[in-house]
């Protein structure tokens, strides 16, 4: 009788320890690129896991330690939990060789990476699209390689909007408040152990922000949040939405990101060796660093500017003119005025920093120009984008010829463990050299794909494709139910799409230059192609339009409403609320990834790189990364890499090329089967794509390039040319 309470106490204790171990895993986003930890969380409660957007903290909070402990016993999870905890601790305590040997000059002074959004996982919704996911992947690879690195962004309490379509197929936006206590965010503390807050003076009063920290592997990501006491009510809302509000909201957000970010680092005792401004949004940060030098070290403005520029690198992300932030000079003076006073510079000098022609009063203040002027080197994000950017900004260097414009390029890449399906990873594990993941940095490793049995690769791909179809059906039936449609319609949605049909994915922001509706250019011709009984083709679309982008919303509507057009027989479906989760399912399961932007407006694009890892073939306009990746044997090209001055003519030509490539190459190759039912030529192309492209377009390669060409030289190390391919 007396033994029982004691046993109970011991049990409770270990339940608490177990619970803490799970929380320890959940509080570092490291878990999100480790399949064994993801599966661990899923096994705790598969249904809630899905309902909670794969958020392990929210999931764990639904358990008491006792219930967690008994569930873990039932599912035999103890050793898996212990093993994962051990691996995370090892990861945190061990500095990888690459960073140790290649970043010595950085010493204790990390790279400070500023970005307006970070897309790391769907459960931390502070991103909208490509730029955010790229930043998230950059951070994860910096962690993986062991580059001394901190990241700075904003915490958007309502993130970007959630999308659903109304009965007319029109996009509706819904904003949800993120519960901070359900995220891995913690208050960032200074040396005194107190939570850090920062303040910024403007002509119209002070602006305050608190600072959160999120652990992404070995890297700390700091997020500023204006929702604090002391701020005026409208300022408390300032960081609530990503890319919401007007010009005034935007400049205040960017003031927080740049100036606030630099102040936060100072308050946290972090002294960066290099400042990386990822896109113009954070360019005010460089001005705050100049202010620090003038104030703390007594430098003149000119000397401080020169020194700070030596430490600063800038990345530009868009060849679309409207994509470059511009502000009215009055707004700039209102927000940067006090900083200008401390720098001792005139109004004209300040405005000149944001103008191509400093004296031109009619020019607005452009954040890209600030970034270019205050950095030692700048880069575009693909080779073609580099050429376009040099031309676009040549007038900033009027005495130089185009070849001498100091804008290089580092092509974007994706974080392999985040985007590679674990089923595919298991296949690679079986055929690649042991421990190949630790030598992911060696391009040669991927050539082993050619030794994989074609049938095995095809089978793995088809298993992933079936998972995608199950996901899409689940989503479509949920969409029908939400719209209050009949049980028959819900049931029909559960059965759409054919697992044997060629399946093509198209998902991205519905910005007009991405031409989501190019496929519908000639509906009759498309119908003929789709409805061949012997060789069916089906499309899965997804993507959000910016809330103010009416034409983008009309594209969505047009595509979504094809479900009412019986001629299409549900061969074109639209999945609502595109996010990292939807993207992951799509890029892991499609046969073909379609991308047809209006060249040369796609700076890089990264979603097609995610498809490569999982055996998807790209069918894309020769723009962005694909212009340098395509070699004729590793996917399909739309157009011939030329564009016409008239958009109308370009669109017609590209549409015709798209149809003929589908009809003459993609469909015949996919349906050309041997006696075993295998499409041998197709599988060969999958192997060429994986073997030749996976490493070149990975975020590890990208961060290595940044380190060698940008970070090390900016920290005073040996200069190395911007890589060109």
Ligand X SMILES: *Cc1c(COP(=O)(O)O)cnc(C)c1O
- Binding stretches for ligand X (CB under 6 A): 129-130, 133, 508, 578-580, 583, 605-607, 610
SS3 at position 31: helix
Shortest Cβ 508–ligand X spacing (Å):
3
CA 303 – CA 308 distance, rounded (Å): 9
Shortest Cβ 515–ligand X spacing (Å):
12
Shortest Cβ 242–ligand X spacing (Å):
13
Shortest Cβ 507–ligand X spacing (Å):
7
CA 52 – CA 41 distance, rounded (Å): 12
Burial class for 573, CB neighbours closer than 10 Å (0-12, 13-18, 19+): buried
Taking residue 662's Cβ as centre, other Cβ atoms within 10 Å add up to: 25
Shortest Cβ 336–ligand X spacing (Å):
32
Which residue, 578 or 670, is less far from ligand X as judged by CB?
578
Which residue, 508 or 701, is less far from ligand X as judged by CB?
508
Shortest Cβ 117–ligand X spacing (Å):
10
Which residue, 324 or 508, is less far from ligand X as judged by CB?
508
78-93 helix and 65-74 helix, angle to the nearest 10 degrees: 110
Q: What's the Rg (C-alpha) of the chain?
A: 26
Shortest Cβ 75–ligand X spacing (Å):
30
Q: Which residues contact 23 (CB under 8 A, 6 or more apart)?
A: 57, 60
Placement of tokens 């300032």 in the chain: 238
Which residue, 106 or 580, is less far from ligand X as judged by CB?
580
CA 440 – CA 35 distance, rounded (Å): 17
Which residue, 458 or 471, is less far from ligand X as judged by CB?
471
Shortest Cβ 579–ligand X spacing (Å):
5
The conformational region for residue 536 under phi > 0 = left, psi -120 to 50 = alpha, else beta, is: beta
Which residue, 142 or 583, is less far from ligand X as judged by CB?
583
How far is CA 316 from its chain centroid? 15
316 neighbors 368 (Cβ within 8 angstroms): yes
Which residue, 151 or 712, is less far from ligand X as judged by CB?
151
Shortest Cβ 606–ligand X spacing (Å):
5
Six token digits for residue 231: 């701020």
**How far apart, in Å, are the Cα atoms of 484 and each of 170, 479, 480?**
16, 9, 6
Helical spans, DSSP H, in 432-538: 454-482, 487-493, 523-530
Which residue, 382 or 707, is less far from ligand X as judged by CB?
382
Which residue, 560 or 580, is less far from ligand X as judged by CB?
580
Which residue, 238 or 507, is less far from ligand X as judged by CB?
507
Shortest Cβ 500–ligand X spacing (Å):
27
Shortest Cβ 699–ligand X spacing (Å):
11
CA 296 – CA 349 distance, rounded (Å): 21
CA 595 – CA 638 distance, rounded (Å): 9
273 neighbors 109 (Cβ within 8 angstroms): yes
105 neighbors 153 (Cβ within 8 angstroms): no
Which residue, 259 or 507, is less far from ligand X as judged by CB?
507
**How far apart, in Å, are the Cα atoms of 42 and each of 49, 469, 548, 615, 646?**
6, 20, 37, 25, 52
Shortest Cβ 403–ligand X spacing (Å):
28
Distance between start and end Cα atoms, the chain: 76
Q: Which residues contact 660 (CB under 8 A, 6 or more apart)?
A: none
The conformational region for residue 279 under phi > 0 = left, psi -120 to 50 = alpha, else beta, is: left
Shortest Cβ 14–ligand X spacing (Å):
39
Which residue, 377 or 596, is less far from ligand X as judged by CB?
596
Taking residue 159's Cβ as centre, other Cβ atoms within 10 Å add up to: 21
Which residue, 226 or 634, is less far from ligand X as judged by CB?
634
Taking residue 522's Cβ as centre, other Cβ atoms within 10 Å add up to: 15
């Amino acid at each position: 009788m007396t033994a029982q309470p004691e046993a109970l106490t011991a049990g409770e204790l270990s339940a608490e320890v177990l619970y803490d171990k799970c929380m320890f895993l959940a509080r570092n986003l490291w878990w999100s690129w480790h399949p064994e930890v993801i599966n661990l969380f899923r096994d705790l409660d598969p249904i809630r896991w899905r309902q909670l957007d794969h958020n392990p903290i929210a999931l764990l909070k639904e358990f008491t330690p006792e219930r967690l402990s008994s569930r873990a016993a039932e599912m035999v999870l103890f050793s898996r939990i212990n093993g994962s905890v051990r691996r995370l601790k090892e990861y945190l305590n061990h500095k990888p060789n690459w960073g140790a040997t290649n970043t010595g000059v950085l010493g204790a002074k990390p790279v400070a990476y500023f970005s307006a959004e970070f897309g790391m996982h769907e459960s931390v919704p502070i991103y909208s699209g490509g730029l955010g996911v790229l930043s998230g992947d950059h951070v994860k690879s910096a962690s993986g390689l062991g580059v001394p690195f901190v990241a700075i962004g904003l915490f958007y309490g309502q993130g970007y909007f959630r999308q659903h379509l109304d009965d007319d197929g029109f996009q509706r936006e819904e904003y949800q408040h993120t519960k901070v206590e359900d995220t891995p965010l913690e208050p960032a503390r200074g040396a005194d152990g107190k939570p850090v807050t920062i303040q910024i003076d403007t002509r119209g009063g002070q602006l305050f922000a608190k600072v959160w920290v999120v652990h992404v592997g070995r890297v700390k990501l700091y997020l500023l949040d204006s929702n604090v006491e002391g701020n005026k009510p409208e300022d408390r809302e300032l960081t609530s939405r990503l890319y919401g509000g007007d010009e005034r909201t935007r400049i205040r957000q960017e003031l927080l990101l740049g100036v606030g970010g630099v102040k936060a680092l100072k308050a946290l005792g972090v002294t960066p060796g290099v400042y990386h401004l990822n896109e113009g949004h954070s360019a005010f940060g460089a001005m705050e660093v100049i202010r620090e030098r003038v104030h703390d070290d007594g430098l003149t403005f000119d000397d401080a500017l020169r020194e700070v520029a030596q430490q600063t690198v800038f990345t530009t992300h868009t060849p679309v003119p409207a994509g470059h932030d511009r502000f009215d000079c009055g707004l700039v003076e209102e927000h940067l005025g006090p900083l200008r006073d401390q720098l001792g510079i005139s109004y004209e000098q300040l405005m000149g920093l944001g103008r191509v022609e400093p004296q031109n009063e009619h020019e607005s203040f452009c954040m890209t120009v600030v970034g270019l002027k205050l950095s030692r080197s700048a880069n575009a994000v693909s080779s073609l984008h580099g050429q376009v950017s040099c031309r676009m900004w040549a007038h900033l260097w009027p005495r130089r010829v185009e070849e001498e414009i100091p804008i290089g390029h580092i092509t974007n890449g994706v974080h392999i463990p985040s985007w590679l399906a674990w089923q595919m990873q298991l296949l690679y594990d079986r055929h690649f050299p042991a421990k190949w993941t630790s030598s992911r940095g060696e391009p040669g490793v991927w050539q082993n794909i050619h030794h994989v049995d074609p049938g095995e690769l095809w089978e793995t791909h088809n298993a992933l494709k079936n998972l995608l179809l199950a996901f899409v059906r689940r989503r479509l039936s949920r969409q029908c139910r939400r719209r209050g449609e009949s049980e028959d319609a819900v049931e029909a949605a559960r059965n759409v799409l054919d697992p044997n049909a060629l399946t093509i994915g198209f998902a991205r922001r519905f910005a007009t230059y991405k031409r989501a509706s190019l496929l519908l250019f000639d509906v009759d011709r498309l119908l003929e192609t789709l409805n061949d009984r012997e060789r069916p083709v089906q499309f899965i679309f997804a993507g959000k339009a910016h809330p103010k982008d009416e034409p983008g919303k009309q594209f969505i509507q047009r595509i979504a409403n094809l479900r009412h057009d019986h001629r299409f027989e549900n061969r074109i479906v639209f999945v609502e609320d595109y996010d990292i989760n939807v993207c992951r399912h799509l890029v892991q399961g499609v046969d073909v990834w379609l991308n047809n932007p209006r060249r040369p407006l796609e700076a890089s694009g990264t979603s097609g790189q995610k498809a490569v890892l999982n055996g998807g073939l790209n069918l894309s306009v020769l723009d962005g990364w694909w212009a340098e990746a395509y070699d004729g044997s590793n996917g399909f090209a739309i157009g011939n890499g030329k564009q016409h001055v008239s958009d109308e003519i370009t669109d017609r030509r590209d549409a015709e090329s798209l149809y003929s490539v589908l009809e003459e190459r993609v469909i015949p190759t996919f349906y050309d089967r041997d006696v075993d039912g295998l499409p041998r030529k197709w599988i060969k192309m999958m192997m060429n794509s994986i073997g030749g492209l996976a490493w070149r377009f990975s975020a590890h390669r990208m961060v290595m390039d940044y380190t060698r060409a940008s970070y090390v030289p900016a920290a005073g190390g040996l200069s190395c040319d911007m890589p060109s391919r």
